[in-house]
A and B are shown apart, each in its own frame.
Chain A
C-alpha cells in the first residue's frame, strides 16, 4: 500500500511539476574526469559529441571538429558556418604546435572609408555590426575541414564527424536559461532580419526555456558539407545564396570572396610562465601575444606569496592589464598587412621593464593616453579537447555579436558574422579596413606544456577583450595558487583596460573590494557570475593521478564530458 501511495504521489507531483518548474543555473557538476579523453565546451551536448567521437577511435582533432560543428547548432548565437576563428593543435608526435587561422577577412570590395558617420560620429545604421556591410568572408568550414583533413586520425569520415550536428539541427535541442535570454536580448535584430526570427521565434515570440528549436535548413547545409566538403559553402548553390542575402542586406560580399578565402597555417606565439610553456595564437589575433606579455609581467611578482583573491594580487593584475592594453591599442593588427613588434611584446626583458612601472601601493591613472576602443563582442565560443595520448586541441570561434550581423541565409539557416566590426571603421589605423585583411581579434586558444615539456593543459575563452586576461588568470590560478582546473575557472575575475574602471566580478572578497579603492582604482562591480568575463573551457592532464580533468564555465552553459 505504501508503494502504491508513493507512486501515486510521484505521479501527482509530476502532473503538477510544469506549474512550478524551475531550472537553476547549476554551479556544480560542470567538470568531468576521464582516463581516455575529455572535451570541454559551451554546451553539454557538444562536449558529449566530442567524447563519442573519441570513443569511436577518433583523435582529439576529430573530436574537436565534431564538437565545433555541433556548437554551431547548439549555440547558434555564438558561432557557426557563417563565422570564423582560430585553432591551435599539438598532437603528441608533433614537435611544435600549429595554429590554424580561419578568421574572417574583409571582402575585396571593402575600403577603409566604407562606413559613413552621422554628425555625432556614430556609424550610420550600425553598419559595422548589423546588416550586410558588417559581414566578413567566413572561414569556419574551410578552417575546420582543413584541420580535420590534415590532423585528424583518418579513421573517421567527414560525414561521421558532421552527423551529430546534423542530428541536432534536425531533431532539435532544448532552450536553456542562457539561450532564452540571449534570444530575448536579440529579439529586435532577429525580427528585423526576418529569416532569423523564422528559426528562433515560436509564432513571433522568442522560444522560451525548455522549448525545442530545430533548424532543418542548417541541417541541409551541414549535409551538403558532409557530401561535398568546403566547396559546398564556398562555391555553387549555397555560396550564391549567401552572397545574394548579404548583398540584399546592403553588403559587398562576392562569390569571388568566398571562392578565394584561404585558411592560414601559422606558427604559434610561444612564451613561458614559471617553467610552463605557453603556446597561443599570433595575429590577426592579439590574444596570444598579449597573453604571453601579461604572464611575463606577472612573472615578476610572487603571486603565490601575495595570495589568491587578495588586494595586492588584484592590484597587480589590474596594473599589468593597463600596460598590456596600452600596447595593444598602439601596435596590434593583422601582420600580413602591418609590421607588429611581436618579439618585443612577448619578450621577458620588455615585460620586466613594464613590471618596474607598477607601484605596489598606487594605481597608475592610465598607462597611456590610449584608445580603449572595443574590438569584439562577447559572443564567441571556446572548446578544448585532450586525449590520453597527449594530443591537444583548442578552438575559439565566433560570429562576433550574438546572432552576428542578423543576416540569415534563407533556406540554409546560416547566420552571417559581423566581424567587420572588429576593424577600426576609419582610415589611418593599423587596424583599418583593407581588402583581404583580417580584423584584429582577442581570441586566445592556448596550449600549455608542463616544466617537463609534457602536454599539460588546453584552454581558452570567449569574451572579447576580456579573453586573454581571463585565460591568464586561469593559468595563474592553477600555477600560482594550486587550484584544480574547475576551481580556477570558478574563481572571480578582474578586467582592466589601459584606462578607466577596474571591473571586478561580484564574488571578489569584500576586503579586497574595499582595499582596491584606496589604491586608486575606480571599481565597477559586475554580477557574481558574469558572462562579461568570458567562459573558460579547459582540459588538464593530472600526471600523478593519470587522469584528464576537464573544467567548464557556469557563466555560460559550459560542461565537460569525459570517458
Chain B
C-alpha cells in the first residue's frame, strides 16, 4: 500500500511538473536578430496586438501596418514580423483593396528577402480571423516565413500545419494571444 501511494505521489509530482514547465517549442534556437520591423498582411487589428507582444517581449521594433517595401531598408531592421489576417473593415479604413494589399505584402516580403532579413509570421486572430479574405494573405505570406506562430484556434483545419510542414517552416501553436509573446521572444537572439 505504501509503495502504491509513493508511486501515485510520484505520478502527481510528474504531472504537476509537466503542467508547470514552460512549453517546448518547435523552434529550437533563435533565428532572428533585433531590431524588428512590424507590418500587417491584411490590415486587421491583429497588428496592434502583435505590437503589444513585441513591447512585452522587449524587442525593439518599428511598426507601419501599411509600410511600402522601401521602408524596410530605411528602418535598419533585421527581422520582418508580419501580423497576418484580412479585415475588410481594416482595408476599408486604410483605403486599399485586398488586391492592392496583397501586392504590397508581396513587395515587402520580396524586399525583406533581398535585404537578407528573417521573416516571422503570426496569425493571432483565431478561427474568426480565417476565411476567404484572410486565407489569401496567409497563402501569400506564410511560404516566405522562416518561423510561424499561430493561435491554435485558427489552425483547426490544419492549414498552418500543412503549409509549414510542406515547406519545413518551424510552426508553434499557442493557446491564447497572450501566450504568443513567449515563443516570439525566444525566436530572437
Contact = CB atoms under 8 A, between A and B. Distances in A.
B30 to A, nearest CB: 23
B74 interface: no
B24 interface: no
A356 interface: no
B12 A11 contact: yes
Contacts, number: 62
A188 B56 CA distance: 18
A8 B125 contact: no
Interface stretch (A14-22, A79-87, A279-287, A453-461): A14-22
Nearest to B92: A122
A8 B14 CA distance: 12
Contacts of A202: 178
Interface in A329-374: none
B12 A187 contact: no
Majority secondary structure of chain B interface residues (helix, strand, loop or mixed): helix
Chain B's interface size range is 20 to 34
Contacts of A515: none
30 contacts: A1-B4, A4-B8, A5-B4, A8-B8, A8-B11, A8-B12, A11-B15, A12-B11, A15-B15, A15-B16, A15-B18, A15-B19, A16-B18, A16-B19, A19-B19, A21-B175, A181-B126, A185-B128, A187-B45, A187-B49, A188-B45, A204-B52, A204-B55, A204-B56, A205-B52, A205-B178, A206-B49, A206-B177, A208-B178, A209-B176
Interface in B106-129: 125-126, 128
B135 interface: no
Contacts of B126: 181, 184
A185 B177 CA distance: 13
A187 B55 CA distance: 17
A439 to B, nearest CB: 23
Contacts of B5: 4
Interface string B158-189: 00000000000000000111100000000000
Contacts of B16: 15
Contacts of B1: 1
B156 to A, nearest CB: 11
A191 interface: yes
B48 A16 contact: no
B62 to A, nearest CB: 18
A203 B56 contact: yes
A204 B52 CA distance: 6
Contacts of B15: 11-12, 15-16
Contacts of B49: 184, 187, 205-206
Contacts of A184: 45, 49, 125-126, 128, 177
A409 B121 CA distance: 37
